[in-house]
């Protein structure tokens, strides 16, 4: 069963996705301009677009030439809706084509940083006459549609930008959404505010208020909900929103599987509860997980064992929570990128519990509450701050579900977990003290538990374990680069770990990007 998504009252700027890897990024940039936006596939009909009641349209880039066979087309009727329109790259060309301008095979492909000459108009006003933009195109607009002023050019694109304030339309051949176009964000913002005239009211306070109202509406006056907390940002913010909406009709469940880092359980039990007043059930499951992990070294087998046991533990917790009371809703911290990537379907899925939290009785059926399903990660953090969640939770770096279990190379045992936990706490403490948290996406600390190396400490020979530091920078974890942590910080971490954690006699640095390596070692 799906229902129309009514969780957000704001009218969106619709980013029409012509197959660009950049459509989501454009939507994010629009939101950074404090304007609500959504991505919609280019196959959406005029009626579907109208139903969304947008305030403006942005046509994204795409891989194709407008003349290529099977190229995604733009229904000219969309341009007759009287809405402000901004075209980017392929969207710029599709718009030109639909409005009677000319797109030509110039044979002059531009890719990468390119000099843009400003000729006029308002969107580029006040910038350097020639400045860098990021280009990625083969065809180029050779003639703007009638009534449009050509406002910029490049060597390979005689019409690299145009504007028609009377029709509230504009476009650029380059990609304003990428950081390699330094004025791009400003150009997008100017289009939204000056040409489209939309209000910049997408703020954390407004978002929180709307989402709380939407949860109230969905769960109703008497409904009850449960939420599994992982210790991560998303589930914490989702739970905090739902708690604001329905108070103690929400029960949060936290499974301590023993694979957490130092302080994480306390963050949930003390800081989260103190900040939200949420009702929390903690499950002590360390022994059960260790028993299931006994004898397993292979990474996939570990993941499977941890995943399966997690479901069992959650099921035991829910059975306890459910005792004697009807619980209809399950809260999940799904984010917008997941929604877009899985087809962008708006709606509230009604799931059979055993599909998601396996093993629950067949007659128990939850409706999902996904208050973050239209938000990007940075917005989730902003909403979390708005709701008063502490920085230790809101600014938390990503941490994998299987936890320290996949950071011990070899079998996971209680003793090895303790060694890794101690070393990890030192590394995190020193990186934070050095002010590096903003530069580091995450820093796995990996115990090579099955490897031993010889060392010398005091007067004696040691035979200990090496430990790997893996500080990485990333935007989305799909690719990553290793962070050039200053040598003196590395030195301090190494000295402290080898002094304070006797089982470790060697600290090494992972200097591999992703690809070819992954971020985690397993």
For position 316 contacting ligand XMP by CB under 6 A, the verdict is no
- Closest contact distance (angstroms) between CB of 476 and ligand XMP is 9
User: What is the distance in angstroms between the CA of the first residue and the CA of the last residue of the chain?
Assistant: 38
For position 332 contacting ligand XMP by CB under 6 A, the verdict is no
- Residue 157 labeled ligand binder: no
Closest CB to ligand XMP among residues 73, 518? 518
For position 176 contacting ligand XMP by CB under 6 A, the verdict is no
Cα→Cα distances 90→16, 45, 75, 93, 489, Å = 11, 19, 14, 5, 46
Q: Which 8-state DSSP code applies to residue 314?
A: H
Element (H, E) at 369: strand 365-369
For position 514 contacting ligand XMP by CB under 6 A, the verdict is yes
- Cβ proximity of 195 and 35 under 8 Å: no
Q: Which of 171, 176, 223, 400 binds ligand XMP (CB under 6 A)?
A: 400
For the question of residue 177 being annotated catalytic, the response is yes
- Cβ proximity of 131 and 182 under 8 Å: yes
Nearest C-alpha neighbor of 505 from the set 443, 418, 447, 437: 447
For position 512 contacting ligand XMP by CB under 6 A, the verdict is no
Q: How many residues bind ligand XMP (CB under 6 A)?
A: 11
Coil, helix or strand for 53?
A: coil
Nearest C-alpha neighbor of 108 from the set 75, 135, 73: 135
Contact range with ligand XMP by CB under 6 A, out of 114-122, 262-270, 399-407, 489-497: 399-407
For position 513 contacting ligand XMP by CB under 6 A, the verdict is no
Q: Which of 147, 320, 398, 502 binds ligand XMP (CB under 6 A)?
A: 398
Residue 429 structure tokens: 């403490």
- Residue 236 labeled ligand binder: yes
Which residue out of 163, 177, 210, 522 is catalytically annotated?
177
- Residue 231 labeled ligand binder: yes
Q: Which of 269, 338, 481, 520 binds ligand XMP (CB under 6 A)?
A: 520
Q: Which residues pair with 350 in a beta bridge?
A: 367
Contact range with ligand XMP by CB under 6 A, out of 236-244, 287-295, 338-346, 514-522: 514-522
- Residue 184 labeled ligand binder: no
Which residue out of 10, 97, 137, 175 is catalytically annotated?
175
Contact range with ligand XMP by CB under 6 A, out of 47-55, 153-161, 493-501, 511-519: 511-519
Element (H, E) at 312: helix 299-322
How far is it, in rounded angstroms, from Cα 220 to Cα 360?
Answer: 24
For position 402 contacting ligand XMP by CB under 6 A, the verdict is yes
For position 445 contacting ligand XMP by CB under 6 A, the verdict is no
Burial of 102 (0-12, 13-18, 19+ CB in 10 A): middle
Element (H, E) at 288: helix 286-293
- Closest contact distance (angstroms) between CB of 454 and ligand XMP is 30
Nearest C-alpha neighbor of 375 from the set 203, 137, 152, 200: 203
For position 518 contacting ligand XMP by CB under 6 A, the verdict is yes
List binders of ligand XMP among 462-501 (CB under 6 A): 477
- Cβ proximity of 477 and 398 under 8 Å: yes
Closest CB to ligand XMP among residues 138, 358? 358
> C-alpha angle with apex 170: 169 to 176, nearest 5 degrees?
140
How far is it, in rounded angstroms, from Cα 338 to Cα 503?
Answer: 41
- Residue 230 labeled ligand binder: yes
**Chain-centre distance of CA 244, in angstroms?**
23
Closest CB to ligand XMP among residues 118, 306? 306
Angle between helices 414-433 and 487-500 (to 10 degrees): 150
For the question of residue 309 being annotated catalytic, the response is no
Which residue out of 89, 164, 227, 443 is catalytically annotated?
89
Q: Which of 299, 359, 401, 410 binds ligand XMP (CB under 6 A)?
A: 401
- Closest contact distance (angstroms) between CB of 299 and ligand XMP is 9
- Closest contact distance (angstroms) between CB of 446 and ligand XMP is 11
- Cβ proximity of 518 and 407 under 8 Å: no
For position 425 contacting ligand XMP by CB under 6 A, the verdict is no
The residues carrying an active-site annotation are 89, 175, 177
Q: Which residues are annotated as a binding site?
A: 230-236
Annotated binding-site ranges for ATP: 230-236
Sites of contact with ligand XMP (CB under 6 A): 303, 398, 400-402, 442, 477, 514, 518-520
């Amino acid at each position: 069963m799906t229902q129309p998504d009514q969780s957000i009252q704001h009218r969106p700027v619709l980013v029409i996705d012509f197959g660009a890897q950049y459509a989501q990024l454009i939507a994010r940039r629009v939101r950074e301009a404090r304007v609500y936006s959504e991505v919609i596939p280019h196959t959406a009909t005029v009626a579907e677009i109208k139903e969304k009641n947008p305030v403006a349209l942005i046509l994204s880039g795409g891989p194709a030439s407008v003349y290529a066979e099977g190229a995604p087309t733009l229904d000219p009727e969309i341009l007759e809706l009287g809405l402000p329109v901004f075209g980017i790259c392929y969207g710029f060309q599709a718009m030109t084509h639909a409005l009677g301008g000319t797109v030509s095979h110039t044979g002059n492909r531009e890719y990468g940083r390119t000099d843009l000459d400003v000729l006029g108009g308002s969107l580029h006003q006040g910038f350097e006459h020639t400045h860098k933009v990021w280009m990625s195109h083969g065809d180029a607009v050779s003639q703007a549609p009638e009534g449009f002023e050509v406002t910029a050019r490049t060597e390979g694109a005689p019409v690299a930008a145009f504007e028609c304030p009377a029709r509230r339309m504009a476009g650029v051949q380059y990609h304003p959404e990428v950081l390699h176009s330094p004025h791009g964000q400003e150009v997008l913002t100017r289009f939204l505010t000056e040409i489209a005239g939309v209000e910049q009211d997408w703020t954390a306070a407004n978002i929180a208020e709307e989402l709380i109202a939407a949860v109230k509406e969905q769960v109703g006056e008497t409904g009850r909900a449960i939420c599994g907390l992982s210790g991560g940002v998303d589930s914490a913010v989702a739970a905090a929103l739902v708690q604001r909406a329905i108070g103690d009709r929400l029960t949060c469940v936290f499974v301590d599987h023993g694979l957490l880092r130092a302080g994480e359980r306390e963050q949930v039990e003390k800081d989260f509860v103190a900040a939200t007043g949420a009702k929390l059930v903690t499950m002590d499951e360390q022994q059960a997980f260790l028993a299931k992990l006994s004898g397993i070294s292979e990474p996939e087998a570990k993941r499977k064992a941890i995943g399966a046991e997690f479901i069992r533990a959650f099921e035991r917790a829910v059975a306890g929570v459910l005792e004697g009371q009807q619980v209809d809703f399950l809260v999940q911290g799904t984010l917008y990128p997941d929604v877009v990537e899985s087809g962008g379907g708006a709606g509230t899925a009604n799931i059979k519990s055993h599909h998601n939290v396996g093993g629950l009785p067949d007659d128990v059926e939850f409706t999902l509450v996904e208050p973050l399903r239209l938000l990007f990660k940075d917005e989730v953090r902003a909403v979390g701050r708005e709701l008063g969640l502490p920085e230790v939770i809101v600014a938390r770096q990503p941490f994998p579900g299987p936890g320290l279990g996949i950071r011990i190379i070899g079998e996971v045992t209680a003793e090895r977990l303790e060694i890794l936990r101690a070393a990890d706490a030192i590394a995190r403490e020193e990186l934070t003290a050095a002010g590096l948290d903003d530069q580091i996406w995450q820093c796995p600390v990996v115990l090579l538990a099955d490897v031993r190396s010889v060392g010398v400490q005091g007067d004696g020979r040691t035979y200990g374990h090496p430990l790997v530091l893996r500080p990485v920078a990333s935007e989305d974890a799909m690719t990553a680069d290793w962070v050039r942590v200053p040598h003196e910080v590395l030195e301090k971490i190494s000295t402290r770990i080898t002094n304070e954690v006797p089982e470790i006699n060697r600290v090494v640095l992972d200097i591999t990007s992703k690809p070819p390596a992954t971020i985690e070692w397993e």
